[in-house]
């Protein structure tokens, strides 16, 4: 401090005081928070908000401005909400970006942005409010109403059209014939891809109407009916891999939005099934398959109406019981409780049930199966594996994994077929036919005992679809004996 004397003309003494001090600059430590750190968008685009809090100015760096719009890229200190908007992703592959929010010299937060892909238009064009009328049964209650099921195979799924594999058009008279034999549930294997535009996945209206007509035949006759996407050229089954995951999910979504919308007014007599026998050999493939099933569930539910409560069926990997037991550890997430079933198939042992002589890689075929049904005339054709104890063991896995937990299981396909008309005729034909009868009865009985609902696979061999008569009464009798 300095004190200076100054004198004025009036002789007054004035003290002038000068104060000098040292000022010190103070720095502010920047703080920054951003949430959420992960944002996911659907393929058709949309909006989402992120919250930013900072005590200094902040900026957002957006490397994906071609498809991701950030409404506000800078801000001052305080709280802020920033809206993100994505355009529809029609690239055929999922895409991602990382937004960087910076504040001060050292604060950086990252927001991971992901968007699924769609290469097709959306077909959920008329969603309805949920409608529970006629849909009172949950999955367990609905399964309890099935007595015995029948597959109309090699028909609606035939590549080339409904009659391409030698069967006539399905008629209501044929549905009544199935019912008269003692069956009250029908599985309709169906193809869709061959009836759809490859660029847009738009299914032909004529085909949707035809399938709906067949479903109506079933429902009108108080038959429960399971409608699926079958092998369908393999667009799903042959592509359980990450490279095709986006495009397969896009087609799965497009098809099921159309199928579900068309069939939406049917009551609980109709169920939908995601696929047929989609393969998965390991956990990675199972995760991809689960995404296909999840897309199926989401697409059906999104159409609303009675589809909001419809029972849906998803397939285990390859519909193989052992693989399903080891790999299928969760069902898709569903917005409605207890409306889902699992599906497996069974043709075991394959040398007895399905395979034919001439395939050296499998060795000799089995003509005789089960206790009391081996042949002394042709002992080298007796089954050496896959008999009763093996059946009991494998079927019990589905009981423990699913049915004991109130998740019904459909045995969506099974069967053993007589070889009397084949090139290789069993030498002990009577014992062979008895063995086929025994297998059909035993498998049907054991399936039901373990909580599975059996659907016999027929391609027009047991029932004549042209004149609606029985071709193989022994098979019908054996199936009914197992069910009763």
Domains belonging to the chain, first-starting first, are 32-115 (2.60.40.10), 139-483 (3.20.20.80)
For residue range 136-183, list pLDDT tens digits in order: 999 999 999 999 999 999 999 999 999 999 999 999 999 999 999 999
8 Å CB contact between 149 and 183: yes
Judged by average pLDDT, the poorest of 21-30, 241-250, 260-269, 274-283 is 21-30
Q: Element (H or E) spanning 70, and its range?
A: strand 68-70
For residue range 182-230, list pLDDT tens digits in order: 999 999 999 999 999 999 999 999 999 999 999 999 999 999 999 999 9
Section 59-83 average pLDDT: 93
Provide the pLDDT for residue 118: 73
CA 249 to chain centre: 9
> Does the pLDDT value for residue 291 go beyond 60?
yes
Section 410-419 average pLDDT: 96
- The set of residues, in sequence order, having a beta carbon less than 8 Å from that of 316 and lying 6+ positions away, is 323, 324, 327, 328, 342, 343, 344
User: What is the percent of the chain with per-residue pLDDT over 90, rounded to a whole number?
Assistant: 86
> Does the pLDDT value for residue 10 go beyond 60?
no
- Select from 116, 117, 85 the least CA-distant residue to 99: 85
User: Which pLDDT band, with edges at 50, 70 and 90, does 26 fall under?
Assistant: low
* Sole residue written with tokens 């997430």: 333
For residue range 220-237, list pLDDT tens digits in order: 999 999 999 999 999 999
In which order are the strands placed within the sheet that holds 74-75? Answer: 38-41, 107-115, 95-103, 58-61, 74-75
């Amino acid at each position: 401090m300095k004190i200076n004397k100054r004198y004025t003309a009036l002789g007054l003494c004035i003290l002038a005081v000068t104060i000098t001090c040292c000022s010190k600059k103070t720095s502010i430590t920047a703080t920054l928070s951003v949430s959420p750190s992960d944002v996911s968008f659907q393929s058709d685009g949309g909006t989402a908000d992120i919250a930013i809090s900072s005590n200094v100015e902040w900026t957002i760096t957006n490397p994906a401005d071609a498809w991701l719009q950030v409404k506000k890229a800078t801000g001052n200190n305080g709280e802020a909400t920033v809206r993100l908007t994505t355009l529809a992703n029609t690239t055929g592959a999922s895409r991602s970006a990382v937004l960087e929010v910076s504040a001060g010299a050292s604060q950086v937060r990252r927001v991971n942005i992901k968007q699924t892909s769609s290469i097709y238009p959306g077909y959920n064009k008329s969603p309805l409010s949920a409608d529970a009328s006629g849909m009172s049964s949950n999955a367990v209650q609905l399964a309890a109403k099935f007595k015995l099921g029948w597959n109309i195979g090699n028909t609606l799924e035939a590549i080339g059209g409904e009659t391409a594999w030698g069967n006539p058009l399905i008629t209501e008279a044929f549905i009544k014939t199935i019912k008269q034999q003692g069956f009250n549930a029908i599985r309709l294997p169906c193809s869709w891809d061959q009836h759809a535009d490859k660029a847009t996945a738009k299914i032909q209206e004529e085909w949707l109407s035809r399938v709906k007509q067949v479903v109506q035949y079933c429902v009108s006759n108080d038959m429960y009916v399971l409608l699926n996407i079958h092998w369908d050229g393999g667009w799903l089954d042959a592509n359980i891999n990450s490279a095709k995951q986006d495009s397969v999910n896009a087609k799965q979504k497009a098809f099921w939005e159309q199928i579900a919308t068309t069939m939406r007014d049917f009551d609980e007599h109709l169920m939908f099934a995601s696929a047929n026998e989609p393969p998965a050999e390991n956990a990675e493939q199972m995760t991809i398959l689960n995404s296909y099933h999840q897309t199926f569930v989401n697409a059906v539910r999104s159409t609303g109406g009675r589809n909001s409560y419809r029972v849906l069926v998803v397939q285990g990997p390859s519909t193989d019981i052992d693989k399903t037991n080891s790999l299928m550890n969760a069902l898709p997430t569903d917005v409605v409780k207890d409306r889902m079933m699992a599906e497996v198939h069974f043709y075991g042992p394959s040398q007895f049930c399905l395979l034919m002589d001439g395939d050296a890689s499998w060795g000799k075929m089995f003509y005789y199966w089960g206790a009391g049904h081996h042949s002394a005339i042709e002992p080298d054709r007796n089954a050496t594996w896959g008999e009763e104890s093996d059946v009991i063991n494998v079927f019990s896995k589905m009981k423990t994994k699913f049915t004991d937990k109130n998740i019904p299981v459909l045995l969506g396909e099974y069967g053993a077929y007589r070889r009397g008309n084949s090139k290789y005729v069993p030498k002990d034909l009577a014992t062979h036919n008895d063995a086929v009868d025994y297998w059909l009865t035993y498998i049907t009985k054991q399936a039901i005992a373990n909580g599975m609902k059996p659907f016999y696979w027929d391609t027009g061999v047991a029932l004549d679809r042209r004149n609606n008569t029985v071709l193989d009464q022994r098979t019908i009798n054996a199936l009914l004996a197992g069910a009763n």
